Amino acid sequence: MTTPPQTPPTPPTTIRVLLADDEEMIRHGVRMILQYANGIEVVGEAVNGAEAVTLAAELRPDVALVDIRMPVLDGLAAIGPLIALDPKPQVVMLTTFGDEENVTRALQAGAGGFLLKDEGPDELIRSVRAAAAGDAVLSPGVTGTVIKRMLQGGAATSTGAPGPATAEDRLASLTEREREVLAMLGAGLPNLEIGLRLGIGVGTVKTHVAAVLDKTGSDSRVQAALLAHRAGLAS
């Protein structure tokens, strides 16, 4: 029996955010920015990955902003337990320009995207809202480098980043419209832009995206985008 695709996330009225970073100044700065944004609430702060998982299970945030490098349990190791929660938060990794390799590992582990720590307040707020809506969050400053590195990664893994030999197999069950949506995910387009290009509503786009993720075994839009590149659907 075929498992029906999961219902795509609907942006909540108030977006609940969990911050996880061992640097107090970073947490303070992010919290100060987000607390003045309409419809966003910081519900908790963690100083390491283990605390982030515990708080996420208790507070049920919509978005978890997680630093990659933390003591006790780092952000990379925390991704798995975080996305295993029900409901699971959309995990966005916080990084610096020198973290391309770790960002690659984070995306392969199922993170929904990454955000540079030196992004401006408007980009931070936009990214939180995009993550809550189920869109990928990819800072443009290093996206190209990360995508290139992941595409050169070689063998298939169980993390949703298949090698070239398996990419087309994972697309076999997609409808033509779902292939179109996957190609646009590969181009990094948000739901609104996909809907405008295809002449369909955002709700319909979300349904197609959910089906694409389910049928291809992708944990996130980022992994689906990589699959599109490997299969030659996107440049």
Residue 21 predicted with pLDDT over 90: yes
- Domains contained in the chain, number: 2
Query: Can you tell me the mean pLDDT for 45-59?
Result: 97
The residue from 103, 126, 149 where one domain ends is 149
**Least confident segment among 26-35, 48-57, 215-224:** 215-224
pLDDT value of residue 130: 85
**CB contact at 8 A, 125 and 212:** no
The CATH number given to whatever domain includes residue 223 is 1.10.10.10
- Confidence grade of residue 165 (pLDDT, cut at 50, 70, 90): very low
Helices (H), the chain: 24-34, 49-59, 75-83, 100-109, 121-132, 140-151, 164-171, 176-186, 191-198, 202-216, 221-230
Is 86 part of any domain?
yes
pLDDT value of residue 15: 96
pLDDT value of residue 171: 87
Q: pTM of the predicted model, to two decimals?
A: 0.67
The residue from 149, 181, 206 where one domain ends is 149
* Amino acid at position 89, single letter: P
- Confidence grade of residue 232 (pLDDT, cut at 50, 70, 90): confident
Three-state SS for 133?
Answer: coil
Residue 61 predicted with pLDDT over 80: yes
Is 193 part of any domain?
yes
Residue 202 predicted with pLDDT over 90: no
CA–CA separation, 228 and 88 (whole Å): 24
Is 108 part of any domain?
yes
Query: What does the DSSP 8-state code read for residue 86?
Result: S
The CATH number given to whatever domain includes residue 64 is 3.40.50.2300
CA–CA separation, 49 and 211 (whole Å): 30
pLDDT value of residue 157: 40
175 is in which domain, residue-wise?
160-230
On whether both 19 and 115 belong to a single domain, the answer is: yes
For the beta carbon of residue 196, count every other beta carbon within 10 angstroms.
12
Three-state SS for 141?
Answer: helix
* Amino acid at position 184, single letter: M
pLDDT value of residue 156: 37
On whether both 142 and 164 belong to a single domain, the answer is: no
On whether both 30 and 138 belong to a single domain, the answer is: yes
pLDDT value of residue 11: 52
